[in-house]
Amino acid sequence: MVDQLSEAERAEALDALPDWDYDEGRDAISRSIVFTDFAEAFGFMTQVALIAERADHHPEWTNVWNRVEITLTTHDAGGLSARDVDLATAIDSILDG
Amino acid sequence: MVDQLSEAERAEALDALPDWDYDEGRDAISRSIVFTDFAEAFGFMTQVALIAERADHHPEWTNVWNRVEITLTTHDAGGLSARDVDLATAIDSILDG
């Protein structure tokens, strides 16, 4: 079990994740990424899939050719948790790497 | 360039793809699949990704943990084409295999 972030914790987390949009209605964060082509997009998804599986925390995501849209929230917590922040940070690291 | 299916061709194709829903508004077909868990869902997506890349024809798809929703249409043809039917048939083969 993991706790939903407090307002202060969430504000701090969002400051550190400037590429992510906050969806207040769902208490979720999302990021859209455009790659060169499908192979690059799906390669990225495979990297994220392995990290997500190891953390046992998975994204909601959509892929259309070179675009990937990722949404993170924690159903068990009823909203954004530290697990989402960790996964978002890991995703940013892949993209910046 | 690939041609949009005629009405008769489409009717025949849909008969052979009973697990797919036809979206008239988009002239697209879609299928939702529920797997045991994320690893199984993403394993399936990886198989489809390789087939799609080899055919240079890619799905629009969404994954939420053990669920995958796939939509197929051919932007260049302005709707459903033989390439969608081929990819749908290949996807069915993976799922029935």
pLDDT tens string A23-79? 999 999 999 999 999 999 999 999 999 999 999 999 999 999 999 999 999 999 999
ipTM: 0.95
The pLDDT mean for chain A works out to 97
Q: Do B38 and A49 touch (CB under 8 A)?
A: yes
B54-65: average pLDDT: 98
Is residue A1's pLDDT more than 80? no
**% of chain B at pLDDT higher than 70:** 100
Residue B64, chain A, CB below 8 Å: the answer is: yes
- pLDDT at position B97 is 76
* Residue B49 to residue B57: CA distance in whole angstroms: 10
Q: Do A58 and B65 touch (CB under 8 A)?
A: yes
3-state secondary structure of A54: helix
Q: Is there a contact between A95 and A33 (Cβ–Cβ < 8 Å)? A: yes
Is residue B91's pLDDT more than 80? yes
Beta strands in A1-97 (DSSP E): 21-23, 28-34, 60-64, 67-72
Residue of A nearest to B58 (CA): A65
* Residue A2 to residue A4: CA distance in whole angstroms: 7
- pLDDT at position B47 is 98
Residue B49, chain A, CB below 8 Å: the answer is: yes
Q: Is there a contact between A87 and A54 (Cβ–Cβ < 8 Å)? A: no
